[in-house]
Amino acid sequence: MATTGVFNGTNLILKIEDTALGHTTSCSMTFNADLPEATTKDSGGFQEVIAGVKSGEISFDGLVAYDDTANAIELADYLIAGTQLTCVFGTAASGDDVYTVEGFLSSVEMTAEMEAPVSYSGSITTTGSITKSTNS
């Protein structure tokens, strides 16, 4: 059943190559639109823009667990190899909308502070169109 009302962020997941990214603590997807300026002397002193190129970025943070199927080491390997990835962003609930994109990892970082869990973070820059579908 589709999610209704305000829901817990824990229910939003990021899948990379059909596998949920392990031990994530947060994830976000940003859509961008380039708006080239089209102001002329006929604009009456107000800025005018036109629709331009659209893009997207996915960011994530989590805790490192080497035994996760999709873990920080695997992400670093994807980045080093320049692998194009299929990413799905949304919930697992039937009837909810999800976004599917192709993209490349643009950063992966692992951080280890004394007496604290090892964490990782990164971002994916999308390439091509962003597709919205509904979980069945």
**Tens digit of pLDDT for each residue in 24-78?**
999 999 999 999 999 999 999 999 999 999 999 999 999 999 999 899 999 999 9
44 in any annotated domain: no
Can you give the CATH number for the domain in which 72 is found?
Answer: 2.30.110.20
Span 8-22, average pLDDT: 94
Hey, what long-range contacts does 35-43 have (CB within 8 A, 24 or more apart)?
none
2 in any annotated domain: no
Nearest of 48, 18, 49 to residue 33 by alpha carbon: 49
Quote the pLDDT of residue 45. Answer: 96
Q: Which residues in 28-55 are b (16+ Cβ under 10 Å) and which e?
A: ebeeeeeeeeeeeeeeeeeeeeeeeeee
Q: What is the DSSP string of 22-53?
A: TTEEEEEEEEEE---B---GGGTTS--B----
Give me the number of domains the chain comprises.
Answer: 1
Max CA distance (Å), the chain: 63
Tens-place pLDDT, residues 98-121: 999 999 999 999 999 999 999 999
Do 106 and 38 contact (CB within 8 A), yes or no? no
47 in any annotated domain: no
120: domain range?
9-32+52-134
- Encoded tokens for 2: 């589709």
76 in any annotated domain: yes
115 in any annotated domain: yes
101 in any annotated domain: yes
45 in any annotated domain: no
41 in any annotated domain: no
Quote the pLDDT of residue 1. Answer: 81
What's the pTM value of the predicted model, to 2 decimals?
Answer: 0.90
